[in-house]
Amino acid sequence: MKKRAILAVASLLLLILTSQAYAHLGSRYDSAKAVLEKVTPTKDPDNKEVKLVDVSYKANKDISNNKLKNVDKLPGYVSEADIAKKGGKYTLKSLMTYKEYFDMGIDPMLRHDIDPNRIVWVLISKFDKTHNVDGQPVEKATVTAAYDAETGAMISLVVTSSDPQGLKNLNKRPDLQN
């Protein structure tokens, strides 16, 4: 009985300690931003201090929808029919804040020049067969594109593959070789 009581107390303490630790994590965006704020500026080759660029994409989450680009007017947008001809389909076409997009965990790189409350279009398309990306075949590709919803500028493009060898040809691009 004494062992059970000790085990129960130890389990309860462990639960309390771990839940407190996880409660402070916040969103993926907040965690990445906190890390960026702790980075000590370095010097460039000319011994000048390197600074992060200012936010060029300001918050606009309260902007009216008529000031945002329609999804079909985004540069590089491909219609549902044309995606289907290539063996793919859209799994997501959505307006969201940049923070919501980053918190999805698709893009590993935080753009510190974009306010977290900037509205972006996020388009995710999945292909069940070979899809060409920059002229290179990718097997079972998932292509995620994020566009600034106000200007239409592409702010992110991430290509992944559900096939373990699906991205092997992207590494063979001549422009990426030494």
Give the separation between CA 45 and CA 67, rounded to whole angstroms.
Answer: 42
Q: How confident is the model at residue 67 (pLDDT cuts 50, 70, 90)?
A: very high
Domains held by the chain: number:
2
pLDDT tens column, 85-130: 999 999 999 999 999 999 999 998 999 899 999 999 999 999 998 8
Give SS3 for 90.
Answer: strand
In a domain, 58, yes or no: no
In a domain, 45, yes or no: no
Q: Residue 30: CB partners within 8 Å, gap ≥ 6?
A: none
In a domain, 51, yes or no: no
Q: 144, 88 in Cβ contact below 8 A?
A: no
- Give the domain extent around 96: 65-176
In a domain, 49, yes or no: no
Q: Residue 86's Cα: distance from chain center in Å?
A: 24
In a domain, 117, yes or no: yes
Whether 114 and 171 map to the same domain: the answer is yes
pLDDT at 1: 55
Q: 138, 166 in Cβ contact below 8 A?
A: yes
Whether 108 and 23 map to the same domain: the answer is no
C-alpha distances out from residue 7 to 19, 30, 39, 50, 143, Å: 18, 36, 42, 53, 49
In a domain, 60, yes or no: no
Say whether pTM exceeds 0.85: no
Whether 122 and 162 map to the same domain: the answer is yes
In a domain, 136, yes or no: yes
Q: Is the pLDDT of residue 40 over 80?
A: no
Mean pLDDT of the chain: 83
Whether 77 and 165 map to the same domain: the answer is yes
